[in-house]
Structure 1
């Protein structure tokens, strides 16, 4: 069963959603049959890649929120994060253009480590206060996951993954996805937002039952039929 997740590195609810989704999946008997694909999305592609801002500044300048309102919103999100086991450090978080970070995610996908990289990027941004728009910081994350340093530098310096990132974003637009996180379950159902683990568990179970698990035979006795060895009555 395939799960596609649209997400952006600087989205706190994407981090919360990831934790709740993984918590739900871990308890399901078919967890090893699930393939997760992380898709790129940019909440604010107009951000300058060379000028990081702190969270309060961003809300004031880009969203027009007073500092007090921005602080209140951040505090509320931090509380939701703690309930999911995440200790956000918004005082250190640097708001930056995430396009380069998405290059690293696509490189990690090539190595079968996209979920690990997504977690590493979230932690770097929201907890460690790293600049996830800085190439050297991103290379360090790649190396920490066993990806070759020179390969990471080449990927981040080139246009190798640009089309893939833009394709993800265009696919989201084509499907009416305007906010993240957004989860598509085996191409049949969708779950939007950082839902509780119980909601993810129910959605995953329903999707598996309807799209993956074998048919349940409702007949009392086997009827006349044919198979590769012939027919029986």
Structure 2
């Protein structure tokens, strides 16, 4: 069974959704029969790689949110993160362009390390306060994961995988995917947002049984991010 997941590295709900989805998958007997493919999505492609902001400033200055609402959103996501086993550090998280990170994610597929790379990038951004647009950092991260450093450098300093990243984003647009995380389960079900573990379990079980045609299993699209805002 194939699972496609559209995600952006700077989306906190994508990080939470990844943890909840993986916990659900571990609870099921057919875990080894599931093939997960991570798809690229950019919440803010207008950001330049050299442009860096802290989270609160980004919400206030770039998105135009009042400070009290921005603080409320950050506190809400922090609490959801704790429930999923994630210690978000929004005070030190650096908002920047994620295109290069997506190039690395596409390279990681060749090494069968896409989930590990996705996890490492989330942690680097949300927990360790690293600049995930910095080419030197991404090369170092790739090497730690077991990806050849020279190949990573070649990818990150060229247009290799540019089309693959753009194709993922175009596919999301064509499928009317406007927010992430967005999970497509074996072409039969769509689950949007960082849903609870039990929702993922039910969706995976139904998709595996192939009992119905594709539909949205969650009417609630909260706990997700789109290009305008994060929904809580």
Query: Structure 2 length as normaliser, TM-score?
Result: 0.90
CA distance, structure 1, for counterparts of residue 153 and residue 83 of structure 2: 37
CA distance, structure 2, for counterparts of residue 78 and residue 66 of structure 1: 18
Q: How is 1:122-161 mapped onto 2 (pairs within 5 angstroms)?
A: 122-161=122-161
My pick for the range that moved more, 63-72 or 47-56, is: 63-72
Q: How is 1:221-232 mapped onto 2 (pairs within 5 angstroms)?
A: none
Q: Alpha-carbon deviation of 1:69? A: 2.1
CA distance, structure 1, for counterparts of residue 66 and residue 204 of structure 2: 40
Q: Deviations over 1:21-54 (max 9, x none)?
A: 0000001000000000000000000012102100
Q: Which residue in 1 is equivalent to 2:17?
A: 17
Q: Alpha-carbon deviation of 1:19? A: 0.1
CA distance, structure 2, for counterparts of residue 82 and residue 205 of structure 1: 26
Q: Which residue in 2 is equivalent to 1:210?
A: 210
Divergent runs of 4+, >3 A: none
Q: Which residue in 1 is equivalent to 2:35?
A: 35
Q: Which residue in 1 is equivalent to 2:4?
A: 4
My pick for the range that moved more, 62-71 or 142-151, is: 62-71
Q: Which residue in 2 is equivalent to 1:44?
A: 44
Q: Which residue in 1 is equivalent to 2:167?
A: 167
Q: Which residue in 1 is equivalent to 2:201?
A: 201
Query: Structure 1 length as normaliser, TM-score?
Result: 0.89
Root mean square deviation of aligned Cα = 0.8
Q: How is 1:52-71 mapped onto 2 (pairs within 5 angstroms)?
A: 52-71=52-71
The reply on whether 1:182 has 2:196 as its aligned counterpart is: no
The reply on whether 1:77 has 2:77 as its aligned counterpart is: yes
Q: Alpha-carbon deviation of 1:67? A: 2.1
CA distance, structure 1, for counterparts of residue 185 and residue 65 of structure 2: 35
SS at match of 2:146: coil
CA distance, structure 2, for counterparts of residue 178 and residue 11 of structure 1: 13
Q: Alpha-carbon deviation of 1:188? A: 0.9
SS at match of 1:4: strand
Could you tell me whether the CA contact under 8 Å between 2:188 and 2:210 is conserved in 1?
no
Unaligned runs of 5+ in 2: 212-232
Unaligned runs of 5+ in 1: 212-233
Could you tell me whether the CA contact under 8 Å between 2:6 and 2:39 is conserved in 1?
yes
Q: What is the count of residue pairs matched by the alignment? A: 211
CA distance, structure 2, for counterparts of residue 80 and residue 146 of structure 1: 31
Q: Alpha-carbon deviation of 1:111? A: 1.1
Q: Alpha-carbon deviation of 1:66? A: 2.2
Q: Which residue in 2 is equivalent to 1:91?
A: 91
CA distance, structure 1, for counterparts of residue 37 and residue 165 of structure 2: 13
